[in-house]
Chain A
């Protein structure tokens, strides 16, 4: 008879090529950036270079602590290249889960079978979650492996906390994309909404850090909630993690409600 979670299985298993691709990209980024820390971040020349840059730029790029191992990992991996890759992956999966599937005409046939719309949304959201967790677990493991050889000096519990925030940040963009797709039935709107959360979060953080006059922008930036206190160095702000994961869960629930209440494929 039928297997458990058939829609989750299809979404998760059938996208293994893409998941593998993202994993390779993240691994490449880690292996390129982190082993360079002893020769770049920790070198006296780097400190001198940093001193010569405009402070606004340093703040915008979150490079203020780049000369410490945790600060370097935070700024390069979690704050920049990793954030970029995970956001793109999660937004692409979120936008495709309902909006993309509906736009391509395939959702209609799935819904004509023995499934509920809520089940479709929840199982596909679960498939996004599983892939995000898989990639973040890979990032965690690889950074742990490089911690000694690259002299990063990161405490495991802080790395864990930063990983939870990293995953939560990706899920927030992904669930926003899922929600916009479920409301509109259009992949493009899902992509725009998900990318919007990621990009605006980053920009609000970069601008908000410039002066106390605009630091209210930080309150609007999920990026700042997650990374404002430099979790790789100082440990996670668990309240922020709660917000990121909580809002993501609410967006998934709202996606299920939105899809259940409207016509599909029109």
Chain B
């Protein structure tokens, strides 16, 4: 199941663990990334907490925890090479894996059509 947040994160659920990344739209807005800071494995986060930081040449942005849970894995590859996020935000550019406190909370997030409508509205 692939879901999205209004803050331009995507979540791909396997069991009760969601892989989280940022969307192509977010990457286009940010420009070339030069730095990524990921949360610690084992960190417990609440929905809306700052979980990661990305920096482009010009500015920093926060990536938020999309749902309550525990960080069980982080993607060191994007720390070593932030450009992976730009080149493959939906694949190799994933940020962290979040063991969800409540899998059911996924249903309240946006589906692909809902997210597309959201960003489409931005461009109107």
The answer on A and B forming one complex is: no
